[in-house]
Amino acid sequence: MSLWAIIPVKPLKNAKSRLSPVLAPDQRFMLAQAMFRHVLSVTTTIQQVSGVLVISRDTKALAIAREMGAKTLQEGAMSNLNPALLRATMVVKSWRADSVLVLPADLPFINAGDLRDMIELAADRSLVIATDRNRDGTNALLIRPPGAIKYDYGSGSYERHLRKARAAGMLVREFQSERLSLDIDVPEDLREYQEILDQGQFGHLPSFPVLYSAK
């Protein structure tokens, strides 16, 4: 299996706007960059992943990706997520990928074991999917072959991706992982993030203990 990971990245300086009530702009930038680097560091070291392609309009994110050994694709200024992912998928298909794994850049606790377990579940004409804690979004999506269904990210994408795959007659496997289910979007997510950091792991990620130490 020739599997390529695709990581779409929003402009880092504008990332995590919903955390603005609790984090300053420089803190949001620092958090977004650290999570992106973590996802990249995990994904680029997995033997089962043939390569990693980062698509973004942010030149800083693209530079980080190249620095860490990933391929890059410049996103158009007016593009949005689903067309950008389709474009990236067409690129890796031209590189003879027979599977794609789409990962967001804001999974601070993802590890290699999660991804290897997901990849093990893949089969011919299959979709392997992991959702968030609310069973609403799509936090990891493995499709074989690439382009077997159209991407439909946005609110409620988890159920839409499941429906599309089943309608296409694909084998559907849902992957459960506490680490994959936690993305950082709203202040409550940040509270859980900080509680995990307070346990003494993930020292490479930024910590914000002042926010919640008195709560």
> What DSSP assignment string belongs to 89-130?
HHHHHHTT-SEEEE--S--TT--HHHHHHHHHH--TTEEEEE
Domain assignment present for residue 87? The answer is yes
The average pLDDT across 154-168 equals 96
The whole-angstrom separation of Cα 186 and Cα 127 is 28
Under the banding of pLDDT at 50, 70 and 90, the label for residue 201 is confident
> Residue 162: phi, psi to the nearest 5?
-60, -45
Domain assignment present for residue 27? The answer is yes
Domain assignment present for residue 63? The answer is yes
Q: Residue 76: CA atoms inside 13 Å, Cβ hemisphere, count?
A: 11
Residues of the domain holding 78: 3-183
Report pLDDT for 78.
Answer: 67
Query: Into how many domains does the chain fold?
Result: 1
The whole-angstrom separation of Cα 70 and Cα 7 is 10
Domain assignment present for residue 164? The answer is yes
The whole-angstrom separation of Cα 17 and Cα 14 is 7
What type of residue is 121? L
CATH number of the domain bearing residue 32: 3.90.550.10
Question: Residue 212 pLDDT more than 80?
Answer: no
Cis bond upstream, residue 145 (ω within 30):
yes
Among 12-26, 43-57, 186-200, top mean pLDDT goes to 43-57
The alpha carbon torsion through 160, 117, 31, 40 (nearest 10 deg) reads -100
Do residues 197 and 152 touch, judged by C-beta distance below 8 A? Answer: no
